[in-house]
Amino acid sequence: MNKVAVVMGSDSDWPIMQKACLLLEQFGISFEAKVLSAHRTPELMLQFARNAKELGFSVIIAGAGGAAHLPGMLASNTILPVVGVPIKLETLDGLDSLLSIVQMPKGVPVATVAINNATNAALLVISMLAIHNDQLAKAYHNYKDAMANESVAKNANLLF
């Protein structure tokens, strides 16, 4: 099974990024979680991005808040797919993080999910890995079926 890197700008991002890790764990996907800052440890960040494939990673989930340059800078330095998670900080509404991550220039894409939606980042990665993994594809189908059943069951809550 391919390994996923879950990186984030600070440990303060962990409560959100942990959701991606929990889902990857639930699907039996191996991953490594790591703090890596584009601003505070730029050399380490570059080193990681340039060696990520050789280290056995096939995709990177990167979360950051504020001037969130980590996902984009990783994408600039690797050909692995990078999924960006904008983290909402206390000062603004998260739009700062979202725009910093999603507004990449042509040629350097970051697949950006909604603000704080690390769960969708993990699901996007699961769908990528499931392309060549029938067992994972089946598990992902089951996940979606369960979600659909939960949604239908919500009709029972519309009481008046």
Check residue 12 for interaction with ligand RP5 (CB under 6 A): yes
**Alpha-carbon torsion 55, 72, 65, 81, what sign?**
negative
Q: What is the DSSP letter of 93?
A: -
Q: Which of 4, 31, 52, 66 binds ligand RP5 (CB under 6 A)?
A: 66
CB-based burial of residue 135 (10 Å sphere; 0-12 exposed, 13-18 middle, 19+ buried)?
exposed
**Alpha-carbon torsion 15, 8, 30, 110, what sign?**
positive
Q: What is the DSSP letter of 158?
A: -
User: Which residue number, 12 or 26, has a Cβ lying nearer to ligand RP5?
Assistant: 12
User: Which residue number, 17 or 124, has a Cβ lying nearer to ligand RP5?
Assistant: 17
User: Which residue number, 9 or 57, has a Cβ lying nearer to ligand RP5?
Assistant: 9
Which residue stretch of 5-13, 21-29, 78-86, 117-125 sits at the interface with ligand RP5 (rule: CB under 6 A)?
5-13
By the criterion CB under 6 A, which residues form the site for ligand RP5?
Answer: 8-10, 12-13, 37, 64-66, 87, 89
